[in-house]
Amino acid sequence: MAAFGTKALHRLPLYLRVLREWEREGRGHASGAVLAAALGLDPILVRKDLARTGVRGTPRVGFPIAELVAELERLTGAASEQTAVLAGVGRLGSALLGYPGFRKQGLRIVAAFDAAPERCNLVLSGTPVFPAGAITEMVMRLGVPLGILTVPAERAQRVAEQMVAGGIRAIWNFTPARLEVPDEVLVQREDLAVSLAVLLHRLQERSV
């Protein structure tokens, strides 16, 4: 059950999605090859990933789906519910608040924040919006481990610091800003401009 590399980690949720579906259909076992085919991946690669989850398969039968689902849910954090706060209730922030996929991943956004007074005291998709000044105290009081950052880039560093002051442990950064935070705070970037650049590059490459 060694650590998963970045690449492997990205595949686990894909396995989970397909296996959950199969579980609902009542299938009991799945071979690495079948799962690989469903996802268009290399069978050997899938088998190795499954082996690394620690779940044991049986030759001629495959891996027990229920056990795989349980273990993958644990590994991807979907097994235990986590709370988060979201700062910046602009277009992207509002979209994320209403995204049903997060709930399935075990994530509950318990509070949102915004600098604009007219957006505060609203309730968006079931999440109450508070003034930006309340971030630190709220994060601290609720013991929220995850902060979602959807503020304008120029405000990102300041808001990140407010979260850190409240004891946040991870920040999901949707802004292009590079955040300076203590080492123990995990930062994950989600930069659409970067993704778009990669896509446009690949598109260009094909045209040649």
Partner DNA sequence: TAGATTGTTAATCGATTAACAATC
| CB contact at 8 A, 157 and 178 | no
Subset of 111-150 contacting a second copy (CB under 8 A): 145-146
Let me know the angle formed at the C-alpha of 137 by 133 and 139, rounded to the nearest 5 degrees: 105
Least separation in angstroms between CB 121 and DNA: 46
Q: Which among 39-47, 79-87, 94-102, 195-203 is the span making contact with DNA, rule CB under 7 A? A: 39-47
Q: Is 201 in the site for a second copy (CB under 8 A)?
A: yes
Task: Considering the complex, state which of residue 45 and residue 134 has its C-beta at the smaller distance from a second copy.
Answer: 45
Subset of 53-112 contacting DNA (CB under 7 A): 56-63
The binder of a second copy chosen from 25, 58, 118, 202 (CB under 8 A)? 202
Q: Is 44 in the site for DNA (CB under 7 A)?
A: yes
CA proximity to 94, closest of 120, 121, 125: 125
Q: Which among 4-12, 147-155, 158-166, 187-195 is the span making contact with DNA, rule CB under 7 A? A: 4-12
Q: Is 22 in the site for DNA (CB under 7 A)?
A: no
| CB contact at 8 A, 157 and 180 | yes
Q: How many CB atoms lie under 10 A from the CB of residue 16?
A: 19
Residue 42 touches which member of DNA, a second copy, none, C-beta under 5-8 Å by kind: DNA
Burial class (CB in 10 A: 0-12, 13-18, 19+), 92: middle
| CB contact at 8 A, 86 and 150 | yes
Residue 48 touches which member of a second copy, DNA, none, C-beta under 5-8 Å by kind: DNA
Least separation in angstroms between CB 160 and DNA: 25
Q: How far is CA 164 from CA 15, 77, 92, 136, in A?
A: 34, 22, 22, 8
Strands 63-64 and 146-149, by their bridges, are unpaired
Residue 40's SS3 state is coil
Binding site for a second copy (CB under 8 A): 3-4, 6, 9-10, 12-14, 16-17, 39-40, 75-78, 82, 90-92, 94-96, 98-99, 101-102, 104-107, 145-146, 169-170, 172, 176, 178, 184, 186, 188, 190-207
